[in-house]
Amino acid sequence: MTFTLRLTLRLPDHRMTELIDNPDFRCGYIAIVGRPNVGKSTLMNALIGAKVSITSRKAQTTRHRITGIQTKDNTQFVYIDTPGFQTRHSNALNRTLNRTVTTTLTAADVILYIIEAGTFGPADQQVINLLPKDVPCILVINKSDRVKDKAVMMPFAQKVAALHTFAAIVPVSATLRFQLENLESEIRKYLPLNPPMFGEDDITDRSEKFLAAEIVREKLFRFVGDELPYTSTVLIEKFEQEGNLRRVFVAILVDRDGHKSMVIGNKGARLKDISTQSRQDMEKLFGGPVYLEIWIKVKSGWADNEAGLRAYGYE
């Protein structure tokens, strides 16, 4: 069973009819792309006003195509947070993640190309090379609040803008919500005239089961990210709901026995922290109590097995 996560109750029929019948209503898909760790997930969460995409200091945190939905006035923004384009490894997992990025780009109505203020390298250039010429693309310069000398921002932006035909250039700070309204205004200009695809209060099309796995994976990277290789993942083995209580049974897959001990920690302390914070985040997101159990399983080579990746939910 799956659940679409909502902030409030479903729209009354008359309100949905108003949105659908509005001839000026705009709705479309906005792909958020960039190299790993430029703040794509943080930006999407800030834009929709809720945390549906996990964040971490560890690069390559986002592994799935995550949809975030924001309905505001006469516009529905459907954001697609993509994995950072992978250049360092060539296993099946990274090939799958890169296919996700390229597929999303061709299906989007608008693209947000995210870079970090003052930083542009070969990995950023590789993503620019993927940008289709027939889809409006906005250059979003994130973390602009960290640049002390604002005089360097203009030449930096001009240098990057010369590499592609951008529809607009918007410096932002996702964490401080700086310039986000301006960014939304620019996005709206290029969205097609369409009725809404989702309810006004929907914030994602992902199931609670999926979001539970992402929460655990975020905590895994947060507590073990500096030690554990990125070839680890989280599976929900059972997700049950009894009234307002959710029972969640989770397996963390690691590649080696040594990785298992990293996750467990001294006398189980690290696994306890991962479990406690995961449960607390789930209860906050789902609005009810959660019973959570987590096991660690060793499965060597899972990240380089195409069939196995599909079984674990990778597209």
The distance in angstroms from the start CA to the end CA of the chain is 20
Comparing C-alpha atoms, which of 196, 165, 202, 168 is closest to residue 183? 168
Q: Give pLDDT, residue 251.
A: 92
pLDDT digits (tens, 9 = 90+) for 18-30: 666 678 999 999 9
- The domains of the chain, with CATH numbers, are 13-189 (3.40.50.300), 208-311 (3.30.300.20)
Residue with the bigger pLDDT between 80 and 162: it is 162
Q: What percent of the chain stands above pLDDT 70?
A: 76
pLDDT digits (tens, 9 = 90+) for 194-228: 999 988 888 888 888 988 998 998 888 888 866 56
Band of the pLDDT at 100, cuts 50, 70, 90? low
How much is the mean pLDDT over the chain? 81
Q: Give pLDDT, residue 166.
A: 97
Contacts of residues 152-158 at CB distance under 8 Å and 24 or more positions apart, as own/partner, are: 152/118, 153/117, 153/118, 156/117, 156/118, 156/120
Q: Give pLDDT, residue 1.
A: 34
pLDDT digits (tens, 9 = 90+) for 223-281: 886 656 556 788 899 999 999 999 999 999 887 888 888 889 999 999 999 999 999 99
Dist. CA 214–CA 236, nearest whole Å: 10
Per DSSP, 45 falls in state H
Residue 11 has pLDDT above 70, yes or no: no
Angle at 180 between CA 35 and CA 148, to 5 degrees: 70
Q: At a CB cut-off of 8 Å and minimum separation 6, what does 21 contact?
A: 195
Q: At a CB cut-off of 8 Å and minimum separation 6, what does 259 contact?
A: 228, 229, 232, 298
Band of the pLDDT at 61, cuts 50, 70, 90? very low
**Strand 233-242, strand 245-254: pairing:** antiparallel
Q: Give pLDDT, residue 137.
A: 96
Spatial contact of 295 and 238, defined as CB atoms under 8 Å apart: no
Q: Give pLDDT, residue 273.
A: 95
Spatial contact of 2 and 137, defined as CB atoms under 8 Å apart: no
State both tokens at 16.
């949905």
State both tokens at 174.
């996702």
Spatial contact of 246 and 288, defined as CB atoms under 8 Å apart: yes
**Strand 66-72, strand 26-33: pairing:** unpaired
Spatial contact of 118 and 147, defined as CB atoms under 8 Å apart: yes
Cα distances from 289 to residues 71, 247, 282, in angstroms, run 28, 9, 8
